[in-house]
Chains A and B, each alone.
Chain A
Amino acid sequence: MRKLISLILVLILAAAATAGCSTATKPAGKYLRYSAGTEPETLDPRRSTGSPEAIAEAQIFEGLTVLNDKDAPVAGVAEKWEVSPDGLTYTFSLRANAKWSNGDPVTAHDFEYAWKSTLSPAFGAKYAYQLFYLKNGEKYNKGLIVADAVGVKAVDDRTLKVTLEKPTPYFLTLTAFHTYYPVHRQTAAANEKWAADPKTLIGNGPFKVTAWIHNSRLEFAKNEHYWDAAKVRMPKMEFILTDSATTELAMFENNQLDLGGNVPPSEIPRLLKEGKLKIAPLLATYFYCFNVTKPPFDNVKVRKAFTLAIDRAAIVKNVTRAGQQPALAWVPPGLADEARGSDFRRVGGDFFADNDVATAQRLLAEAGFPGGKGLPPVTLIYNTSEGHKAIAEAVQEMWRKNLGVNVSLANQEWKVFINSRTKGDFQVARHGWTGDYLDPMTFIDMFVPESGNNDAQYKNPVYENLVRRAKESNDQTARIKLMHQAEKLLMDDAVLAPIYYYTNAVLVKPNVKGYVRSITGVFYFKEAYME
C-alpha cells in the first residue's frame, strides 16, 4: 500500500508539472482558423444537404460557376457557356487546365456521372430534388425512366450539354450550388466511402482536406493542382467543429479561432461594442405560420389581426439584438428584381405597417371577436430554444396587450416539432425559411400544395396559377411580375406573420481579409488571407 501511495503522489506531481509547463495559447499563425459549426454529415457533394457541409465543400470543390462577392454567378470550372433562345439548353465549355487534386483533368464526364448518380433512385440522395430542374431528373429519381434520358450529357471531355425541364433563369446560380459539383468519377465509382477519408477525398477546389478528426476539426492545405492556384494565398486552413456558441466564443477570445458564425445571443451587444462582430445579411425570414384550416385562423381577418398586432421593431431591438430588420413582407432583401441592380424586396415594398394596433383591433372585432371575446383558445408552438422562447413570450404579451387575447405557449423537441408542423397539428407555429438559391422563387413557391413545406395547409388556385406561370416563363419581366403578384396574394391572405429578416453575426479578427460570404451563408476562402 505504501508503494501505491508513493506512486500516486509521484503521478500527481508529474501531472501538475506537465500542466504548469504547458503554454496553452498558441500564437496566431498566417492561416485561418474558422469555426464551422457541427460535424459535416458527409463531404460527398452528392449526399450533403446542410450548411456546415456546403461551407467545407465550397473550399474543396468547384462547380461550373462560382458566386462572386455580389452573389452573381461567374465562370468556375466552365470558362464560358451558351444558352439556347428558349432557355432550355445550356452548353458549358470547361477549362482545359481544370484539374483534380490528384492532377487528373476535370472532365464533362465527371459532371455527368456526379449528377446522374445523385438522381439515381438506388443512390438515395436527400438533395436529389435539387437536380429536378434537369429534363427527366424527377422521373429518373422516381424510377420511371433510365439514366440516359436525363438532360445532362458530356459531348466530349470539355463540353457539357444540359437540357432543362422548364426555362430556369437562375440556373447559373444553381450550378454554383454544392449538389451540382462534380466528383472524381473513378474514385467515387470504386469506393463508396471515398469522401470519408482524406486520402481518397479528391476535390477540384482551391483547397484539399489533409485531416478530418471527427467532431473536432478539419484541416486543409492549398491544392497545388487547382487551376487558379496563383490566387490562393493561404498554405493551410483549419475548420473547428463545435456546435456550442459559448465554446466558440471562448476559443475566439482565447485566440484559438479567427472567424466563426455561432454567437451566444446574450453576448451580441457587448461584442458589437468591442468591435469583434460583423453583422452580415442572410437570405432568410423568421415568421409565425398560421394553420389556415384550424379555428380561429381559418378566418383571414383573425390572421391579419394577429399579424398586425406584433411590434417587430421592439423584438429586434430588445430581444434578438443582432441587427435584424423587421419583416413586413415575405421575401427577404438581397435578391435581384427585373432591372439590373434593383432588389426584389425594395421594388415590392412593405405590405403593412408594423405594430398597427388600431387596424388589428378593428379586424378582430369584424371577425366577431371584439377585444378578443369569444375567441377559441390559441396555442403557439415553437422548438425548444431560449431565443425562440424569448420571442414567443414577447409576442404573447403583445397579443395580450393589443388584442386582449391570452395565447398559450408550448415548446416541443426539434423533431417532434417538425412532425407537428408538417402534419398541420398546430394553430400558430414558429417558422424560419432560408433560401436555397438566389431567386425569389425559393420563397414564393413554398405555399403550393405539392411543395412539401406548405405547413400552413394553404390552398388557393389563384396563387398556384401565378406560381405555375412564373415557373414556366422564360421572360424575366413576366416572371418577376408574377412573383410579386403571388407574394401580394400571400400577404393579403395573411398565411404567415413575418417577424424579421435574419442576419448573421460573425465573429471576426481584424486581420482576416479577402474572404467572400454569400447571403446564403456560405463562405469562400479561396482568396482569404491573414494580415
Chain B
Amino acid sequence: MLKYTVSRFLSMLLVLFIITTATFVLMHAIPGGPFTAEKNLPEAVLKNLNERYHLNDPLFKQYTDYLANVARGDLGPSFKYEARTVNDIIAESFPVSAELGLAAVFIAVAGGLPMGIIAALRQNRWPDYLCMFAATIGISVPGFILATLFIYVFALKLELFPAAMWGGPEYVVLPALALAAFPMAFIARLTRSSMLEVLGLDFIRTARAKGLSPFAVVWRHALKNALIPVVTYLGPLIAAVLTGSFVIESIFAIPGLGRHFVTSIYNRDYTVILGITIFYSTFLVFLNFLVDIAYAWLDPRIKLDGGRGD
C-alpha cells in the first residue's frame, strides 16, 4: 500500500509537470497576448507593461521563474484583473463552484441510484421504461438547453426561483439541477445495468435461497457490488462538477471557477490559464487516486499494488 502510494504520488508530480510545461508552451504559441486589444497601445506603453509583468524576459527564464514561484505556492498576478492574484481568484471562485458542484453530485447520486435500482428491479415493466426514458432525456439534452428551460419554467413562469445570480439556497437549485441532469442519467443507466448483472449471479441466488428478505438481498448484497462502476465514474464526475461548468456558470451568472477557466484563455491571461490548469489537474489526479482506494474497500479482490489476485 505504501509503495503504491509513493509511486502514485511521484507519477502525479510528473503528470503535473508535463501538463504545466505543455500548457506554458501552447499558450505562448497561440497568436495574441494579454495586452492585445481593439485599441492598440503605443509602443512605449506596451514596453512598460511588458516590463512590469516580466514578459520581455526570454521565454525560458519566464518559465523557470514561474516554476520557482509555483513551488512556493505563488501562482502569480492576473494580467487582466489588476491587483488580484491567481491565488485570490481560485480562493474566491472555487468554493462557489464546489458548492454548486456538491449540490449537483448530491442530486445526481440521490436521484440516479434509486432510478437505476428501481429500473433494474422492475426490468421491462413501466417503472423501468419511465426511469430509462428520463435517463435518455438527461443524457441527450445538453445542460444549457435544460438550464434555459428551467429558467423559463421555474423562474419566469412559475416565479419559484431566481433566474440568475448567486446567494442563498434558492440560487443553487436550478443550476444544480441543470448540472446534475447528465450525471444523474448516466448513474441511473450504469446502476441499472450493473444491478441486472449482479442480480443474476450465484451468490444472490444463494442469498435468496437462504430465505433473506428481498430488501436485504438488494441492499446488503447486490448494491455494494453493483456500485463499483458507479464509483469509478464518481471520481472524474466530482472533479468536473466541483471545478465548475463554464456554460452553467455563465447562464446563471455564477461567480465560479469554470468561467475563469474559459475566459482566461480568451483574455490570454497567462498566469490564470496556468494556475487553474495546475489546480484542476491536481484535483483530477487526486480524485482518481481516491477512487482507486475506494475500489479496495468495495471489492478486496482488487489489489492496489498490482500483485496477482488470490
Contact = CB atoms under 8 A, between A and B. Distances in A.
Given A22-B170, A415-B32, A452 B255 contact: no
A237 B1 CA distance: 58
B230 interface: no
Contacts of B166: 213, 216
A254 B39 CA distance: 36
Chain A, interface residues (CB within 8 Å), range: 35 or more
Given A1-B219, A24-B162, A418-B32, A121 B251 contact: no
A241 B166 CA distance: 11
A419 B44 contact: no
Interface stretch (A11-19, A219-227, A321-329, A485-493): A11-19
Tell me what chain B mostly uses at the interface: helix, strand, loop, or mixed: loop
Given A141-B45, A196-B84, A415-B31, A254 B156 contact: yes
Interface string A408-438: 0000011110111010000000001000100
Given A242-B164, A247-B163, A142 B110 contact: no
A215 B259 contact: yes
Interface in A106-148: 121-126, 128-129, 132, 138, 141-142
A187 interface: no
Contacts of B33: 415
A515 to B, nearest CB: 22
Interface stretch (B48-56, B123-131, B190-198, B279-287): B48-56
Interface stretch (B8-16, B75-83, B302-310): B75-83
A213 B255 contact: yes
B186 interface: no
Interface residues of B, number: 61
A239 to B, nearest CB: 12
A215 B36 contact: no
Interface stretch (A40-48, A55-63, A458-466): A40-48
B265 to A, nearest CB: 9
Interface of A: 1-2, 5, 8, 11-12, 18-20, 22-25, 39, 41-42, 44, 47, 49, 121-126, 128-129, 132, 138, 141-142, 192-193, 195-196, 213-217, 240-244, 246-247, 250-251, 253-254, 256, 413-416, 418-420, 422, 432, 436, 452-453
20 contacts: A1-B223, A11-B106, A22-B169, A22-B170, A24-B170, A42-B81, A121-B51, A123-B52, A141-B45, A193-B83, A214-B93, A215-B255, A215-B256, A215-B260, A241-B253, A244-B251, A250-B163, A432-B38, A452-B39, A452-B42
Q: Which 4 A-B pairs have CB atoms at the shortest separation, nearest pair first?
A: A415-B32, A124-B52, A215-B255, A42-B82
Interface of B: 30-33, 35-45, 48-49, 51-53, 80-84, 89, 92-93, 106, 110, 148, 151, 155-156, 159-166, 168-170, 173, 219-220, 223-224, 250-256, 259-260, 266, 268
